[in-house]
């Protein structure tokens, strides 16, 4: 049986491949591995998200569900170019995703990226920025748990950007986020392209 990309410890052989792509205006070559999300190309939703993001703010940035690391790598490259002090926490449940992100960060000389499991993130840490192409396929309950765990960890004045396919429920997730986060959070659609929505959460 094939494994899900969100399997914690993939048991299938890791077939690695190199991928050349542009991130934060740099032509880069990264490694991807089977058993992780979208190993053959930059996911279209992630590409839409990256095009809609502002420059990273100084502080802690969470890449929620990092896969092989495109969102974390993009943020760290841009922060390095602009000399903004950003610490990137690349979080995933899949150990192979974390290994691949670690190798890619090393390969691109990006020491600001820490690939981590949830248990490795200090419990009192608040994030200036959260970015995610969230794992819709884990199911609604697990997705909601994930978002209610991490989005309230935005620091005051912080911002989260999520990309979700319209066909996979972006608009109902938008309504759910408004209802669930409640006062102190503002949720707006800041982008819509190629069947994807970018939802942005601001914390007061």
Ligand X SMILES: C[S@@+](CC[C@H](N)C(=O)[O-])C[C@H]1O[C@@H](n2cnc3c(N)ncnc32)[C@H](O)[C@@H]1O
Binding site for ligand X (CB under 6 A): 5-6, 37-38, 43, 46, 65-67, 70-71, 91-94, 97, 133, 135, 138, 146
What is the smallest separation between the CB atom of 108 and ligand X, expressed in angstroms? 16
C-beta of 150 vs 185, nearer to ligand X: 150
Interior CA angle at 71 toward 39 and 51, to 5°? 105
Say which residues have a Cβ less than 8 Å from residue 30's Cβ, sequence separation at least 6: 18, 19, 21, 68, 69, 70, 73, 104, 107, 108
C-beta of 135 vs 158, nearer to ligand X: 135
What is the smallest separation between the CB atom of 117 and ligand X, expressed in angstroms? 8
Dihedral sign for Cα 3, 7, 10, 15, please. Answer: positive
Calpha distance 51→24 (Å, rounded)? 9
Which residue from 24, 124, 18 is spatially nearest to 71, judged by alpha carbons?
24
What is the smallest separation between the CB atom of 204 and ligand X, expressed in angstroms? 26
C-beta of 45 vs 158, nearer to ligand X: 45
What is the smallest separation between the CB atom of 113 and ligand X, expressed in angstroms? 13
The residue number whose beta carbon is nearest to ligand X equals: 65
């Amino acid at each position: 049986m094939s494994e899900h990309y969100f399997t914690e410890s993939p048991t299938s052989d890791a077939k690695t491949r190199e991928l050349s792509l542009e991130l934060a205006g740099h032509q880069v070559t990264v490694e991807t591995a089977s058993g992780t999300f979208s190993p053959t190309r930059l996911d279209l939703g992630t590409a839409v998200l990256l095009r809609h993001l502002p420059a990273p703010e100084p502080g802690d940035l969470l890449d929620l569900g990092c896969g092989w690391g495109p969102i974390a790598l993009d943020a760290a490259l841009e922060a390095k170019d602009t000399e903004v002090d950003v610490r990137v926490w690349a979080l995933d449940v899949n150990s192979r995703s974390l290994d691949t992100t670690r190798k890619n960060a090393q390969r691109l000389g990006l020491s600001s990226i820490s690939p981590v499991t949830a248990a490795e993130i200090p419990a009192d840490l608040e994030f200036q920025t959260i970015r995610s192409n969230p794992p819709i396929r884990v199911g609604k309950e697990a997705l909601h748990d994930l978002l209610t765990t991490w989005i309230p960890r935005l620091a005051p004045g912080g911002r989260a950007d999520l990309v979700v396919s319209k066909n996979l429920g972006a608009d109902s997730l938008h309504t759910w986020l408004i209802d669930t986060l409640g006062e102190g959070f503002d949720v707006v659609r800041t982008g819509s392209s190629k069947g994807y929505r970018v939802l942005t959460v601001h914390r007061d």
